A and B are shown apart, each in its own frame.
Chain A
């Protein structure tokens, strides 16, 4: 057995079951007597419901029940809650219209649930759902972010004037305007951040059960945070106390943010299981996922940078309109505010920043955090703007970045937008990336490509993001309706093996491996004697789950704290057994030693004594070796780095081919380098998808045009290049592991690098900016319109 502690590329233990078809995903679970729910969804973007005829569906073969929104309302079922409240600049709380589990009175987006059919088979439920007749009066709808606030735009919610959810600011406008008024140069850029659909490969599933004898409920669900779901659904929607409700998120097939939120279907199956006293399962079709999973991004922004004559940034001024969709999803309001505008300093010393964000309702699927959540939007805006500044001023794009970098000796660094960065070294990640990408040799590759008739471009992005969300008091003061600590319970068993109960959740990240590595490292227990348990509220203490790259930085820190308690207690037991003073006991490599002697006890000796306390300081010390710790982070963590993309465009077709991608990231302490590389590669592929392929497209009336894999372009193996991925790490200074997080860096750093490369490839065509996705038709049109047509010969 080799080294399996922190820093080892241990192969994942979860792989054996996934590779053998023995994973246990929610749809693989079936309960005795299980019924099947199918949701009848609105095919209208905006309509009044005049009536719903369910008689034919109720009489259809196999149908057990049909429910509509009024049935749930009559049962005192609450609406879906929002977990974050933003205040507008005038001090007013955001508009927070009701979000009924099943629509009542009106539907507000295509996909809004209208009714649910429960039947003895899924096919029967599907057939019956088609027999439901909904009498609608269509209402005018608005789908586009820009149109939502235009005078006369249809109102998504009665009483929400101008569809404005909030009008929020950060920074001092008068100060920033003053800087702009006196600046030698101002560069302005208007840009959009395209709307995306997360598309975890496992569609969402929910299975509810109510034990008829005890009245206890269990919900199995595809969630990233089962305790959050239990709290939200139990306390706000179904009014089931925590002690009567268990939520299990077993193996989950990817999340990327989309499985954080409390969704209607979770409440529907749990409620229906209680009514019918039988288990009820709902499994999404992919087309349902497209119109019911929370979407991501969707910003329209204007950005201006004030500069001095040397290209030094003097001030940044931004206005953004962010699309919330038809209802507020669980964490939607914080994404375009505290996860976006606070990141607008990036890696630069810009001294003053002002940002105004208007969040709007539209007749579209709710928008919430998707891998990166606000930070990709900030990074795309900033890194595009910096390239445009280079373009407009003629300063080299690497040089202008260096000129404005926060110096490596300036940490801790207080930005003008609230955050204080603890550590980083942007010069090094840039230098290493330039070398790994052979930036210096690019012009010869461009010339070689030109000889083949291809347009080659290279693009860079130097980015920073914030992870490890977050100090509870801070987020509370900013409107979070939850604490954001994490919890770990470390249970050393009598014979010395260990079970870790973590509040984080793994849905691809490999926690069963990496978290076990922490125990190997700190307690010296062999890897194969450590088990990691997550995802079941009946087993794990109240933790907040996994999102925002927080599992190691926050959850791992809770584990370190709990293991410190194990060691501290173990020392007391060891001191008793070896008749020494506690102060003389050292713990190293799994052994408690009396300093300066050869007397030692193994962790197993200690755990056995703790659980069989015959010779034990029972007067002063409780038996057992089982410790829990809650860790509340002291700050965000700040991963960052440099991404370089190289593309080749075929001018005949406009097709962009990714030829090289180089990432050099600073993620703090690395526990398993193999897993870190995999996280970065996956994130980069999603970033390339956003930059070149993916777009959630609505028509002007609010119909979702990209509603299947036939229309929404997911990155495939031949759209993605082999990647060069490396890390150059500085340690996080305020958590015990030094880890910053790696789950989102790929998706945050890469989109501007790709677009900067595309713009570079098109530099002879007068292109200053291009919005995502850079599809072939878009580029082909640019090339065609820039080239005066040669007369036909």
Chain B
């Protein structure tokens, strides 16, 4: 069986996988990182979004083999070692941007990439369009949009430190 070597949340792993193994299967089943969820089978819902080399990808449509040699960050890898939440996690909590929590990991990972890729700022329209690939059935998106807008200055202030 082929092997992949990848870094997940700062820790290197070498794992045997089948050619058809998906990145999300590797994360959930081989590494026990169950924070990344699977909500559909057509790459629409975005519950499975993780960062591969800093860019958001849908781990349900990425083969584990494609992740060979990359650095993957999942929802479990966002908070600081002392448990301090990432500003996006904190703003999701502050603005009640989650209810059942199932879409949340993917939503947060997408949101961070969205903010990172728009250093100059994000309009409400840009945020809503940037969330096209993530479904939430609970919140009506209202508070997710607010949380992302609130996280933007915090993340870029932190980046400037």
User: Interface residues, chain A, CB within 8 Å of chain B?
Assistant: 11-12, 14-23, 25, 27-28, 123, 199-203, 251-254, 256, 285-287, 507-510, 674-675, 677-678, 681-686, 708-710, 714-718, 720, 722-723, 746
Contacts and interface: CB of A to CB of B under 8 A. Distances in A.
24 contacts: A11-B96, A19-B92, A19-B104, A19-B108, A20-B85, A23-B102, A200-B137, A201-B137, A202-B100, A253-B102, A254-B137, A254-B138, A256-B137, A286-B41, A678-B138, A684-B140, A685-B141, A708-B40, A710-B44, A714-B135, A717-B134, A718-B128, A718-B129, A746-B140
Interface of B: 18, 20, 28, 33-42, 44-45, 47, 74-76, 78-79, 85, 89, 92-94, 96, 98-105, 108, 124-125, 127-129, 131-132, 134-145
Contacts of B38: 27, 203
Contacts of B76: 20-22
Contact of B79 (A20, A23, A256): A20
Contacts of A285: 41
A201 B103 contact: yes
Given A20-B35, A25-B102, 7 more contacts: A19-B98, A19-B108, A203-B38, A286-B42, A675-B96, A684-B140, A710-B44
B102 A709 contact: no
Nearest to B44: A709
A723 B101 contact: no
B41 A18 contact: no
Contacts of A674: 96
A715 B142 CA distance: 12
8 closest A-B pairs by beta carbon, nearest first, are A21-B35, A253-B102, A18-B101, A685-B140, A508-B100, A508-B99, A709-B44, A21-B75
Contact of B142 (A510, A675, A720): A720
Given A18-B98, A682-B99, A203 B39 contact: yes
Contacts, number: 178
B58 to A, nearest CB: 12
Nearest to A14: B101
Contact of B131 (A508, A684, A717): A717
B100 A709 contact: no
Nearest to B131: A717
Given A203-B39, A253-B100, A253-B102, A681 B143 contact: yes
B137 A12 contact: no
Contact of A678 (B35, B47, B96, B145): B96
Contacts of A14: 101
B139 A202 contact: no
B101 A686 contact: no
A200 B100 CA distance: 9
Given A11-B94, A12-B96, A23 B135 contact: no
Contacts of B42: 286-287, 708-710
A252 B37 CA distance: 12
A718 B131 contact: yes
A19 B92 CA distance: 8
Most buried by B among A252, A682, A714: A682
B100 A507 contact: yes
A554 to B, nearest CB: 20
A201 B105 CA distance: 12
A686 B137 CA distance: 8
A678 B144 CA distance: 11
A723 B140 contact: yes
B44 A717 contact: no
A412 to B, nearest CB: 33
Nearest to A722: B142
B39 A202 contact: yes
Nearest to A287: B41
Contact of A21 (B41, B44, B105, B131): B105
Most buried by B among A18, A25, A720: A18
Contacts of B78: 20
B145 A717 contact: yes
B136 A201 contact: yes
Contacts of B93: 11-12, 15-16, 19
Contacts of A20: 35, 75-76, 78-79, 85, 89
A285 B39 CA distance: 8
Most buried by B among A17, A21, A254: A21
Given A19-B104, A254-B100, A681-B143, A202 B89 contact: no
A15 B98 contact: yes
B96 A718 contact: no
Nearest to B101: A18
A400 to B, nearest CB: 30
Contacts of B40: 203, 286, 708-709
A701 to B, nearest CB: 23
Given A718-B128, A722-B124, A682 B74 contact: no
A285 B104 CA distance: 19
Given A18-B104, A21-B74, A722-B124, A199 B44 contact: no
Contacts of B141: 685, 715-717, 720
B101 A23 contact: yes
Contacts of A723: 140, 142
B18 to A, nearest CB: 8
Contacts of A714: 44, 135, 137
A592 to B, nearest CB: 36
Contacts of B45: 201, 286, 709
B41 A708 contact: yes
Given A12-B96, A286-B40, A678-B143, A22 B35 contact: yes
